[in-house]
Structure 1
Amino acid sequence: MHIEFHGAAQEVTGSCHLVQVGHYRVLLDCGLIQGGKYGEQRNAEPFSFDPKQIDAVVLSHSHLDHCGRIPLLVKRGFKGPVYTQKVCREMCGIMFRDAANIYDHDTKTLNRKRARKHLPPVEPLYTADDAEKALKHFQPMAYDVEDEILPGIRIRFKDAGHIIGSSIVELWLEDGKHRRKVVFTGDLGHSDAPILRDPTPIHQADVVLMESTYGGRCHRPWQESMDEMGEILNDAANSKGNILIPSFAVGRTQELLYLFSENFDAWNMGRWQIFLDSPMAIEATEVYLNHCELYNKEAKQRVLNHESLDSLTNLRLTKTPEESMALNRIASGAIIIAGSGMCEGGRIRHHFKCQLWKRNTKVLMVGFQAKGTLGRQLVEGAETVKLWGETISVGASVYTVGGFSAHADQDGLINWLKHFKKQPKVVLVHGEPGAQDALQHEVGNRLGYFPDIAKPGQKLDLIRMSYDNAENQAS
C-alpha cells in the first residue's frame, strides 16, 4: 500500500499521483505540464508507469494541469474508468475538445515548417477522436456519495470550491489488516469567493496530499482587491485604452463576469464594451449557468433576482476568429477577456501582438502564473516578449490582482488543515519549492508539526508511513 508522486512534485502543473493497494493501481489526476521550455516535450514523453496497468483514474477537477493528459493515457492503453464529480465530466468534454483542436492546429503549422526543411511530420499529442474516446471512460459521481471503485478502495468527493465541479477526494484503502484514509485536496478554493461555496472541511485522515500553490503568500482582502479593480478600471478609462485580461476559461472568467455584474454601478462598467473572446470560456459559462445548485447563498440569491452571469447588457461573445481579430481595430473602451490564463496559448497572444506595445493598454493578471510562462514574464516586469519569433516591446501597464485567485492562500490552507481532529501526515504537492518551504515552516509554527514535500518519483509507504527512496522531508 503506497503512493508514488509522478507529477506536480515541487512544481505547480502536471498533477499525477499513483496509489497502489494490493494489485490495484489508481491514478489521482493525470494533468498536463504547462510552462517552461520543455513542457510540451515532457508531455509527449512516455509515462513513468504503464498506462495498461492502471485500473482507474480519480480526477479532482477539470483544469488541464489536472486532467489534460487523460486522452493521452487512453491513447497509450488505459482501459479503466475515470471517476469524477458529474459537472467536472461536463467541463472535461469542453477542455479535451479544445485542447485537441489546438494540438491539431499547432501540429499542422509545425509540419508545414518541417516539410520545408525536409523533416518528417510529427503527430499531435492527441486528436479530437482521442478526446472523445477518453470521455467514454468517465463515470460521473455526485458530491457526498461514498462508493467502492475497486476491492479495498472506496472514494467520496467533497466540494473543493476551486472551480465548478472541483473536488477534494477522500479515499479509504484496505489491504488485509491494514487500513488507511488518504485525502487528496486537488486545488482548494479561496474562501468567500464569488459564485462557489467554500472548501469543505475534512476532519479525519491518515495522510493528506495537499496543494501548495500559494503556500508562500496571503491574498489581499477581498474588499481591497475590489477597490483596486475599480481604480484600475478608472485609470484605464482615463488613459483612453483597452484592458486585456488573460483568464482561465473555467473559473476565473465566470468570477470576473459575476463581479462586473455585481459592481456594475460602482465600477461604472457601462462605459466599457466587454468581450468574452474565448469559445471555450463561453461554453464553460453555459455550464456554470446550468448548475446554480453548486453556488453559494449570495450567488443563488442573485440568480433569483435575475442578476446572473449573463445579465451584463454590454457583454459580447466573440466566437469566431474573424470576430476576435476585429477587436484589435477598437482603439479604446474595450475589456477583452481571452485565454489562456498563463498566456501560453489562445487568443490573448494575438491581442498581445497587436496591443501589448501600446502605452495606453492595460494588462490585468488575475490568476497564478507558473514559472516559465509568458504570463510570469509579464508579471516579473519583462520589457520585451517573444511571440511567434517576433520581439514585442511591453509598453502596456501590467497589473496583478492576486486577491481574485481561485486558490486558497497560505492562511486558507492552514485554516483548512486546522479542521483535522488528529494530526495527519501532510505531504505538499502542486507548488513551487519556495512556496512549499514557506508553507512547511508556517504550518510548523502555527500547528506544531511540519509537512513533508513530495519529490518526483518518490514513494510513500502507507503502512510504515515512511518513504522508500528519500530522506525525511520535514526540516
Structure 2
Amino acid sequence: MAFIQSFGATETVTGSCHFLQLNNGPNILVDCGYFQGKNEHLTADPFAFNPKDVDIVLLTHAHLDHIGRLPKLVKEGFNGKVVALRSTMDLAEVILFDSAKIAEEDYKSALKKARRSGNEKHVALPIYSTDDAQAVFDLIIQYASYNKPIQLTPTVEVTFRNAGHILGSATIQLTFTEQGATKTVVFSGDLGGRSDMIMPAPAFIKKADALYIESTYGDRDHRPLQETIDECKQLIIDTLTNQGNVLIPSFAIERTQEILLLLKQMYYDNELPACKVFLDSPMAIRATQIYNNYPLELNSNANKQLQRDGSVFEFAYLQYALKEKDSMRINEQESGCIIIAGSGMCTGGRILHHFKHRLWDKNNAVIFIGYQVQGTLGRQLVDGAESIQLYHETINVNAKIHMLNGFSAHAGQSDLLAWINEFEQLGKLYLVHGEASVQAEFKKVIRDQLHKPVHIVKYAEKIHI
C-alpha cells in the first residue's frame, strides 16, 4: 500500500520534503527544502532516506525552504528526474546559486578566523558548493505547464495547478493506480490569498483522497491588502514631500515585485512625487526580469501594466543598481529617493550600506514589508532600537520606522478554508508547513467549520494512502 513520509515542514514552517513510495514505483519526492530560523541546523543533517532511492522530484515552487536541499540531494546520490514549471526552475537557478555562494563565502570567512586561533579542524564544510548547485540543472528536467497532466509512468499521473503564491508556484495533484484502485493525493504547496497584487487566486481542485495542506497562517487572517496599500502609499508620499528618502528592505522574490508594481501604479495615477527609485539588489533584479518573462502566469493587474508600456514593472523613475559601484553612487542623492535593497530582514546585503548613510536622518523613513524574525537587525529596528551597531560604528536611529503587515504571499485562515471548501470529494486532510500551536488551532477550526477529518503530520510518520 502506498505511503507518504514527511522529512520536513512537520510542526514547523520550513524544510518541505515529502516522500511518496508506491508499491510499483516510482519513488517520488515532493520538494526538498532548507530548514530556516531555529531549525536551520537540521539542513546539514543526513537525509532520513537514501537519495539514490528517489526516482522523481516534483517542485511546488522556488523558495529556499522548498528547493534549498536539492544540491545536497544530488551530491548524495540522487540521479533521477526533476519535474517543475520552467519559471520555477528559472527562479531556482538564481536562488540555489546565491545560496551556494553565500555558503562558500561563510566557510572561507570562518576558516580564516579559525586558522588564526588554530581551530580550523572544527570548521564545518559548506552544505554544498556552486558546482553542486550546477549539478541540479545537469539532471533531466521535465517542464510542466499548469493544468496539463503529465504521465510519469503508465499508472502515475501528475498535474500542476496554479497556487497563486509566487511565480511558478503550484499545487501538485498526483493520481496513481494500485491493485486496481485509483487514488489521488494533493500537495497544496504554499497557497496565495484570493487577492494579490501580482499573482492570480489559487486554482481550485475538485477531488483528493488525501490532502497535504500548508497551515502557515491557519490561525489568523491578514490585514486587508487594500488597507496596507493605502498606508504604504501615504508613507511614501509624506516622506518624499518632506524631502526625505524611503528605504525598503525587501525580499528578492515576490515582495520586491509587489512594491515595484505598486510604485508603477502610483506613477501612472500621478500619485508618486517626482523621485528616483533604485532597485539595489542583483538577485532581486534578476528575479524581476524572470517575472517579466512569464506574464501569462501573473494576474490581470500585472498584465495591465505590461500592456501599458511593454513591461510589468519598469517605469520612468526606476533605475537598477546591478553593480556595487552603482549602489555606491546612490549616496550622491541627498533626497527624493526610494531605495529597495536586500536583505528583507537586514541580516546582510546592500540595505546595511544605506542604513549607515541614512538611518540617522529624521526626514527619512524605513518601511518593512515582511515579518522580522527575532534576533535580526530588522526586528531590532521594528522593536524601537534607538541606535544600532553597523560596520563598527554606532548609528543613531532617527528615521521613522514603519512595519506593514498586509503584504503576504500566504493565504490566511479564511482563504485556506475557502480553498478547502471547493473540493467536491475530499478524504482526510494532513497539516504540514505550520508551527505546532498554529496547526492545533487550524485543526480545530477545520473540524468545527468544515467537519472534515484532519491530522497533524509528525516527522517521518508513515501515512498510508
- TM over 0.5, yes or no? yes
For residue 86 of structure 2, what is the aligned residue in structure 1? Answer: 86
Deviations 1:44-103 (A, max 9, x none): 221222212212111000111111111111111111111111211111112122222222
Determine if the alignment matches structure 1 residue 142 to structure 2 residue 145: yes
Residues 112 and 353 (structure 1 numbering): CA distance in 2 closer, same or farther, change over 3 Å?
farther
Larger mean CA deviation between 72-81 and 241-250 belongs to 241-250
Selected match of 1:129 from 128, 131, 138: 131
Whether 1:229 aligns to 2:232 is yes
Does the CA contact (< 8 Å) of 1:207 and 1:424 recur in 2?
yes
Deviations 1:8-55 (A, max 9, x none): 11222211111111254221111111223x61x322221222212212
Read off the aligned partner of 1:242 and give its amino acid letter.
N
After the TM superposition, which residues 100-139 of structure 1 pair with which residues of structure 2 at under 5 Å, given as runs? 100-120=100-120, 122-137=124-139, 138-139=141-142
In the alignment, the residues of structure 1 paired with residue 459 and residue 206 of structure 2 have an alpha-carbon distance, to the nearest angstrom, of 28
What is the CA–CA distance in structure 2 between the aligned matches of 1:383 and 1:34, rounded to whole Å? 28
**1:389 and 1:215 mapped to 2: Cα distance?**
42
Q: How does 1:60-79 map to 2 (within 5 A)?
A: 60-79=60-79
Q: Is the 8 A contact 2:165 2:191 kept in 1?
A: yes
Deviation by residue 1:225-257 (Cα, 9 ceiling, x = unmatched): 221112221343355443222222121211211
Equivalent-residue separation in structure 1 for 2:50 and 2:393 (angstroms): 40
Match of 1:3 in 2: 4
- CA–CA distance in structure 2, aligned partners of residues 392 and 27 of structure 1: 47
- Give the superposition deviation at 1:358: 5.2
Q: SS where residue 346 of structure 1 aligns?
A: coil
Pair 1:414 & 2:412 matched? no
- Equivalent position of 1:19 in the other structure: 20
Alpha-carbon distance between aligned partners in 1 of 2:257 and 2:300, rounded to the nearest angstrom: 17
TM-score, normalised to structure 1's length? 0.88
**What stretches of structure 1 of length at least 5 have no aligned partner?**
463-475
Distance 1:246 1:182 in 2: 38
How far apart are 1:455 and its partner, in Å?
2.4
For residues 452 and 391 of structure 2, what CA distance do their matches in structure 1 show?
A: 48
Task: Give, in angstroms, the shift of residue 119 of structure 1.
Answer: 2.4
Amino acid corresponding to residue 282 of structure 2 in structure 1:
P
**Residue 386 of structure 1: how far off its partner (Å):** 6.7
**From 326, 339, 360, the counterpart of 2:342:** 339
RMSD over aligned Cα atoms: 2.6
CA contact (8 A) 2:144 2:150 kept: no
Asked whether the equivalents of residues 158 and 172 of structure 2 are also in contact (C-alpha less than 8 Å), the reply is: yes
Query: Within the alignment, does 1:175 sit opposite 2:178 as a pair?
Result: yes
Query: Given the superposition, is the C-alpha separation of residues 442 and 303 from structure 1 closer, same or farther in structure 2, using an over 3 Å criterion?
Result: same
CA distance in structure 2 between the aligned counterparts of 1:293 and 1:64, rounded to whole angstroms:
24
Deviations 1:273-322 (A, max 9, x none): 21111111111111111211222233323322216334321111111223
Which residue of the partner structure matches residue 213 of structure 2? 210
The one of 33, 36, 47 aligned to 2:35: 33
Residues 202/347 of structure 1: CA separation in 2 closer, same or farther (3 Å cut): same
Q: What is the rounded CA distance, in whole Å, between the counterparts of 2:312 and 2:285 in structure 1?
A: 11
| Kept in 1: contact 2:249–2:344 (CA 8 A) | yes
2:282 match: 279
Q: Kindly tell me: are residues 326 and 112 of structure 1, through their superposed partners in 2, closer, same or farther at Cα, counting changes over 3 Å?
A: farther
Q: 1:192 to 1:135 in 2, by over 3 A?
A: same
TM-score w.r.t. the length of structure 2 is 0.90
User: Structure 2 vs 1, CA of residues 262 and 28 (structure 1 numbering), >3 Å: closer, same or farther?
Assistant: same
CA gap 1:184/1:438 in 2 versus in 1, 3 angstroms: same
Question: Deviation string for 1:85-133 (max 9, x for gaps)?
Answer: 1211111112122222222222222221111112225432222221111
Distance of aligned partners of 1:434 and 1:385 in 2 relative to their CA distance in 1, 3 Å threshold: farther
Partner of 1:427: 430
Instruction: Name the CA shift for 1:385/1:208 in 2 (closer, same or farther; >3 Å).
Output: farther
Structure 1 distance, partners of 2:19, 2:373, is 23
Q: Deviations over 1:315-335 (max 9, x none)?
A: 111112232244356443322
Q: Does 1:253 align with 2:256?
A: yes
Mapped partners of 1:85, 1:385: distance in 2: 42
- The answer as to 2:405 corresponding to 1:402 is yes
SS of the equivalent of 1:201 reads: coil
1:166 alignment counterpart: 169
The number of residue pairs the alignment matches comes to 460
Alignment of 1:189-208 (within 5 A): 189-208=192-211
Instruction: Read off the aligned partner of 1:112 and give its amino acid letter.
Output: K
- Tell me, yes or no, if the aligned pair for 2:240 and 2:273 is still in contact at 8 Å: no
1:372–1:267 distance in 2 versus 1, CA, 3 Å: farther
User: Secondary structure of 2:208's match?
Assistant: coil
| Contact 1:62–1:95 (CA under 8 A) maintained in structure 2 | yes
Preserved contact between residue 181 and residue 206 of structure 1 (Cα < 8 Å): yes
Matched with 1:292 is 295
Which residue of structure 1 lines up, in the alignment, with residue 323 of structure 2? 320
2: CA distance, partners of 1:27 / 1:381? 43
Residues 199-248 of structure 1 deviation map (CA, whole Å, 9 limit, x = unaligned): 10111101111112222221222321221112221343355443222222
Q: Does residue 155 in structure 1 map to residue 158 in structure 2?
A: yes
Deviation at 1:416, TM superposition (A): 0.7
Residue 465 (structure 1) aligns with: none
**1:207 & 1:181 partners in 2: Cα distance?**
7
Are 1:35 and 1:373, in contact at CA under 8 Å, matched by a contact in 2?
Answer: no
Aligned residue for 1:471? Answer: none
Percent of aligned pairs with the same residue? Answer: 40
Q: Distance in 1 between matches of 2:57 and 2:95?
A: 17
